[in-house]
Amino acid sequence: MLYALMGLGLSLITGVLNIPNFAHGALFAVGAYFLFSAIHAVGNFWLALVLAPVGVALLGLAIEYAGIRPLYAAGHDYQLLFTFGLSLILSEGIIVVWGPIGFSQLPPPLLRGGFDLGFIFYPKYRLFVMVMAGLLVLATWLFLEKTRYGAIMRAGIESKEMVSLLGIDVHRLFTAAFALGAYLAGIAGALTAPIRGLSPSMGVDMLGIAFVVVALGGLGNLLGAIAAGLIIGVAQAVVALYWTEASVAVIFAIMAAILLVRPQGLFGIR
Amino acid sequence: MSRAWLAVLAAAVLLPMAVRHALATEIWIFAIFGLGLNLLLGYTGLLSFGQSTFFGAAAYVAGYLLKHYETNVFAALGVGIVVGAVSAALVGYLCVRRSGLYFIMLTFALNQMFYFIAYQWTTVTGGEDGMPGIGRPALLGVDFRNPLAYYVFVAALFLLSLWIMQRIVESPLGKILQAIRENDVRAEAVGYDVPRFKLLAFVIGGAFSGLAGVLYSMLFGIVPLEAIGFVFSGNVLFATLIGGSGSFYGPIIGSFVFIWLSESVSVVWERWPLLLGVAFVIVVLFFRGGCVEAWARFWSWRERRRALAGIAQ
Amino acid sequence: MSDLNRRDVLKLGAVGAAGAVAGLGFPAVIRAQAKEVVMLGIWPFTGAFSDVGPILDRGMKMALEERGMKILGRPIKYITRDSATQAGASTRRVEEAVDGEGAKFVIGPWSSGVALAVSEVAKRKKVLHYFSGGTEDISGARCHRYSFQWAASPYTAAKTVVDTFMKANPRAKRWHLLVADYAFGWSVEKYIKEVGKTHGLEFVGADRHPLGEREFSNYVTKAAGNKPDVVAMINFGLDAVTAAREIFNFGLTPKLPLIMSWSSGVEELVQLAPEIRENLWVGSNFYYTTDTPVAKEFVKSYQAKFGGPPGYAPAAAYGMTRMLLHGFDRAKSVEVQDVVKGLEGIEVNDLVGRMRVDAQTHQTLRPFFFMRSKPKSAMKNPMDFADIIATGDTPLPAQYAACKDIGSF
């Protein structure tokens, strides 16, 4: 489900803005570190969980406004160079601010421990993350489907010209989409922190997976990204049971195989 | 002989006096790698994020031959070029029909796949530990273990590659590729088989990457796992962009700037990737076109100032 | 004109005029070599182990400063390079430091794969190389006269871990192993199974995970399904920390004991919350309560300087540098080959106790530590993680030794 969350955010950005966002993993890491600092500042996990991703969204807002906006006409190569540079700055910045050694962040007391399902023991916090991620995906989905802004965003994926012809400020749309994508990456990072802990390299580890999810789901296809996220997660879990060494390689093998059969991605239309 | 060629020749002679031979050698190897990429990026408009696939594959195969059979240098280079071309044909075949972001992601994902093959296939590649023990067999009595001798060899191969690449770019094929970059729909309409030409560009680029890969493995005596990793693909891409992908000589300048800078800055400050990131952002926001453009702008600025000064007088 | 200088000029003369001009670029460096002993610390300041680079650097610096940056009356010039945990970059930078700065003694890096690449450079450039540990090959299959290994042999570690743990938990016979999928993980796994036989252990599962794995939930549920008495991990750094967290999250620990067989000690334990450390058993090459005079002195001054106890990384850098300096003392020379001979067969009481260097394999024969972590209530301070419960120094039995012939210079 976390993969779906990451993929959804990235798919939104790639779909609406049509840029390869290599800083998406770094935003994920920043989300986790923001959570860590927010917990220490306000002393409450729940409040921190609300604040941290908002912080990441604001960061995304600033990045889009100052950096990415001049680049829409520049071609993918420079967009790539920019977002990659940004990702270096963010992840090195994490080392400068929080230090190179990672941290543990325990779940809030309410969510410690787990349920004994007889055959398996499942941690409460993981269940919480699954529900949270599910709700977030659902909320994003409803937002995009049922609200006016969402409709504009979807229209932005389909045809930018059309949207601007309708008298809508495309730049504002882009900024909003990037901020929303950053928000989703940030909250994914924040939710992950108690499971995997924090380390400066956590973003890079996630980036490859996010890209696979987006490519599998079909560029700009939000439902596809959600489905692909679930497929990758399940596939990884199943492979780890039978052939543990291959659990990372399998992600890319699946991607290559599916793209061979369906070059436009599982649910892609373009 | 053009002025640019004279400059490159002068650089090839002067570089080993300014920096260590191994570093100078690596700069030219990276430049060969960049030339191959730039045929795709600058001339065909294909942004490949998987060039290290061909670089690494060639390095592993040729390295294996050098290590276990002590093959002749030219045989190893030849094998590397072929491996680079064949692996590029394979990847290219899967990718050329896609465009835009899809193309980037596909090359990236296939790169990752090759990386994990190399990582898991430890009996041959050594996995995480890399494949060490690659020698530099002597050629015609010249001992390439001498750093300067190897430098001269690599620099000569680089000049040869540069010459070949220039011939390719100026040939009808080069013009067709540029036409595809400008407008592939029109090129298709005129009657060119666009995917086939893109594939051809891939194969040629792969051959150059393969050559660079073999030279790299001989330079360090090892094929490290990262030689086939996506960071390496990124490095050559960024070096080319920093140099200026729009220019024929861009990758050479980029290779010099990228390797030399990352080398000297890393000694000064351990958080140097931060500066690298800042450099990327600056290039993108202000000098899109890389060093070549920055240089051109500097010149036109000076010309303008001179002209202004002339008017003032 | 020094010996070196002459050799350089001869070499340059042989390769022609261009080379001679190149040589003129470095006259200052060549002159400097005659006076100073240049030592290189190749540490990971960026990349996968960027967290350990700075503390490795501290350790080496401390050992040199103890001697007033001097050896046998000569000043020591300490330089560092960033290994970036990349074999290519490390090779290039070590070569540059050897050629350009005249470095003759190289210590580091941290990752085994990169260390093997650096070891190749040492062999080619004929400079001395000391490496901590994490591969069997430096003092095994790829041994040569110029490289030394400081950490215990994986056999020593496996024997210490299994013997001590079984003594404390005689009934924990069902073991589940979680192994990092690379050569060193396999060696430790092999030896743990070998030693396990003598205790009648049953290995109910042995899963291998790729290096850099971050999603351990599947491995953990699988381990739980095997109903083991104990889970033993053979992995390192962030992999070990992430896995230990997940094993706790899924409720295996503290009910079941968890063994970290080859851990960096403090650096890993500090990343784990106290709750996660309950019922944790840790094997390591160094722990700061080690009861030797050298260790006590080192820990004291380290704590005074940096405000916390040293872990395996700074201790290894410190220990290796000390061993190297002992080699100088014994050789009474600053020439590389003399120092190599000085180290071969040396026997000293140093950082971790009695330490010898096996002349046949260049393996440092030394104790390995096994600790039991403390519950939160028993911790006297936030850094009081564990007690050393045993040390072991059984060397690798001859039938496993892969270094048949260390060769000549």
Mutation choice for B interface testing from C57, C101, C114 by most B CBs within 10 A: C114
Place of tokens 């070096």: B239
Residue B299, in any domain of the structure: no
- Chain B residues closer than 8 Å to A78 by CB: 241, 284, 288
Determine contact: C112 vs chain B, CB below 8 A: yes
For C44, the closest chain A residue by CA position comes to A100
Of B227, B263, B270, nearest to C88 by CB-CB distance is: B227
Half-sphere exposure of C145 (CA within 13 A, CB side): 14
Tell me whether the omega of the peptide bond preceding residue C309 falls within 30 degrees of 0, making it cis.
no
The answer on pLDDT for C254 being more than 70 is yes
For A13, the closest chain B residue by CA position comes to B101
- Looking at the 3D structure of chain B, how many domains does it have? 1
CA pair distance B35, B28, nearest whole angstrom = 10
CB pairs under 8 A between A and B: 113
Phi/psi-derived region of residue C256, left when phi > 0, alpha when psi is between -120 and 50, beta in every other case: beta
Range of the domain at B71: 3-271
The burial of A65, by beta-carbon neighbours within 10 Å (0-12 exposed, 13-18 middle, 19 or more buried), is given as middle
Is the CB of B109 less than 8 angstroms away from the CB of A74? no
Look up residue A134 and give its amino acid.
G
Residue B13, in any domain of the structure: yes
Is the CB of B274 less than 8 angstroms away from the CB of A92? yes
CA pair distance C358, C354, nearest whole angstrom = 13
b/e per residue C72-103 (b: at least 16 CB within 10 A): eeeebbbebbbbbbbbbbbbbbbbbbbbbbbb
Mean pLDDT (chain A, rounded): 83
Q: Would you state the pLDDT for residue B1?
A: 54
CA pair distance A36, A49, nearest whole angstrom = 9
Taking only the tens place, the pLDDT of each residue in B62-111 is 999 988 888 888 899 999 999 999 999 998 888 887 777 778 878 888 88
Band of residue C56 on the pLDDT scale cut at 50, 70, 90 = very high
Taking only the tens place, the pLDDT of each residue in A221-241 is 778 888 888 888 888 777 777
Determine contact: B122 vs chain C, CB below 8 A: yes
Q: Would you state the pLDDT for residue B267?
A: 67
HEC readout, C87-119 = HHHHHHHHHHHHHHHCCCEEECCCCHHHHHHHH
Residue B118, in any domain of the structure: yes
B31: part of which helix (H) or strand (E)?
A: helix B21-38
Task: Name which of C64, C137, C129 is nearest C90 in CA terms.
Answer: C129
Residue B76, in any domain of the structure: yes
Place of tokens 């503390």: C55
Instruction: Look up the ipTM and state it.
Output: 0.77
Mutation choice for B interface testing from A18, A30, A63, A80 by most B CBs within 10 A: A80
Residue C333: Cβ within 10 Å count: 15
Which residues, 6+ apart, have CB-to-CB distance to B115 below 8 Å? B56, B225, B228, B229, B230
The answer on pLDDT for C11 being more than 70 is no
Determine contact: B18 vs chain C, CB below 8 A: yes
- Chain A residues closer than 8 Å to C54 by CB: 100
Can you read off the two tokens belonging to residue C294? 């050298």
Domains and CATH numbers, chain C: 36-152+302-366 (3.40.50.2300), 154-284+367-398 (3.40.50.2300)
Taking only the tens place, the pLDDT of each residue in A143-174 is 888 888 888 888 877 777 777 777 778 888 88
CA pair distance A75, A56, nearest whole angstrom = 26
Tell me whether the omega of the peptide bond preceding residue C293 falls within 30 degrees of 0, making it cis.
no
Task: Name which of C395, C364, C392, C402 is nearest C151 in CA terms.
Answer: C364
Determine contact: C185 vs chain B, CB below 8 A: no
CA pair distance B119, A242, nearest whole angstrom = 19
Of C51, C219, C246, nearest to A240 by CB-CB distance is: C219
Is the CB of C207 less than 8 angstroms away from the CB of A101? no
Can you read off the two tokens belonging to residue B96? 């050329």
- Chain A residues closer than 8 Å to B241 by CB: 77-78, 81
Residue B21, in any domain of the structure: yes
Is the CB of A81 less than 8 angstroms away from the CB of B104? no
Phi/psi-derived region of residue B290, left when phi > 0, alpha when psi is between -120 and 50, beta in every other case: left
Phi/psi-derived region of residue C134, left when phi > 0, alpha when psi is between -120 and 50, beta in every other case: left
DSSP-derived secondary structure letter, C230: E
Can you read off the two tokens belonging to residue B191? 């009657």
Taking only the tens place, the pLDDT of each residue in B230-265 is 888 888 888 888 888 778 888 888 888 888 877 777
Residue B247, in any domain of the structure: yes
Band of residue C194 on the pLDDT scale cut at 50, 70, 90 = very high
Q: Is the distance from CB of C396 to CB of C190 less than 8 angstroms?
A: no
Whole-prediction pTM:
0.81
Residue B20, in any domain of the structure: yes
Mutation choice for B interface testing from C49, C116, C181, C209 by most B CBs within 10 A: C116
The residues pairing with B114 across neighbouring beta strands, listed in sequence order, are none
Task: Name which of B228, B223, B237, B243 is nearest B283 in CA terms.
Answer: B243
So where are chain A's domains?
2-200
Taking only the tens place, the pLDDT of each residue in A20-50 is 888 999 999 999 999 999 998 888 888 999 9
The residues pairing with C283 across neighbouring beta strands, listed in sequence order, are C370
Q: Would you state the pLDDT for residue C34?
A: 52
Of C112, C113, C124, nearest to B221 by CB-CB distance is: C124
Show which of residues 198-217 on chain A sit within 8 Å of chain C, judged by CB atoms: 199-202, 205-206
Q: Is the distance from CB of C372 to CB of C165 less than 8 angstroms?
A: no
Q: Would you state the pLDDT for residue C26?
A: 43
Band of residue C18 on the pLDDT scale cut at 50, 70, 90 = very low
Residue B306, in any domain of the structure: no
For B123, the closest chain C residue by CA position comes to C183
Task: Name which of A155, A174, A268 is nearest A219 in CA terms.
Answer: A268
